[in-house]
Amino acid sequence: MSSITTRAAPPSTGIAAPPMGLRGLVADWSSDRQAFNVAWGKAMMWFFLLSDTFVFGSFLTGYMAVRMSTAVPWPNPSEVFALHVGGADVPLLLIAVMTFVLISSSGTMAMAVNCAYRRDRVNAARLMFVTAAFGALFVGMQAYEWSKLIAEGVRPWGNPMGAAQFGSTFFMITGFHGLHVTAGVIYLVVVAVRLLRGKYEHSGNYQIVEIAGLYWHFVDLVWVFIFALFYLW
């Protein structure tokens, strides 16, 4: 006679296991709460940043193509972006300060995210305010840079220092980035105020700070490429 061995079923935990494969993907997306086991808000921010990467990449690629194809000499960045200090022109002084301010803001934003993970909402909000202040300072210095170039005759359709395309590409790309920084400052202030008011206390989830940090770090990273291509090349 053949014997039949039966295997006992595992004890039930009362919690349904998440579906796998295609069913799991459909369940994630249809629930409107998470995608690929990532919170929905974070996933959507990554999608936005990916699309923005293509936009900035197209702008910078177009800038490089225009600069390499123009027959008129391109303005010297060390002369165009020099500041007159103490009777001498200091090349790229303002740009160096702007870069230092924006890179420093990435550090304060990272500390804010760290505080949020530890559920220290007060210090997280304070550091976000500091980050927003750095961003506002950067936009203010960029406005001064624009006004200085406009006073010297640089326009989107012309440039007395060399190739006419310099003005159009400069104002378009730096203006688009400055718009991102301005939006980021508003975004950080709104989230910081909501943190201080305890808007996220009921859920105990401060992931919104990390999502805001993703946006801010992206803005800082884009500036590194703009700095290299516009001011150092």
Residues 172-182: pLDDT tens digits?
Answer: 999 999 999 99
Helix runs in 70-206, H state only:
77-80, 93-117, 121-151, 165-196
What amino acid occupies position 66?
V
pLDDT bracket for residue 25 (50, 70, 90): low
160: CATH: 1.20.120.80
Mean pLDDT of the chain: 84
| Phi, psi torsion values for 162, nearest 5 degrees | 160, -135
In a domain, residue 14? The reply is no
Chain segment 48-102, per-residue pLDDT in tens: 999 999 999 999 999 999 999 888 888 888 888 888 887 788 888 999 999 999 9
- Full residue range of the structural domain in which residue 128 is found: 75-232
In a domain, residue 44? The reply is no
In a domain, residue 169? The reply is yes
The two beta strands, 38-39 and 34-35, are: antiparallel
Mean pLDDT value of segment 127-147: 96
- Continuous segment of H or E residues that includes residue 35: strand 34-35
In a domain, residue 10? The reply is no
Most confident listed range (32-46, 55-69, 74-88, 156-170): 55-69
In a domain, residue 27? The reply is no
165 is written with which tokens?
């395309």
In a domain, residue 210? The reply is yes
Domain tally for the chain? 1
In a domain, residue 42? The reply is no
In a domain, residue 58? The reply is no
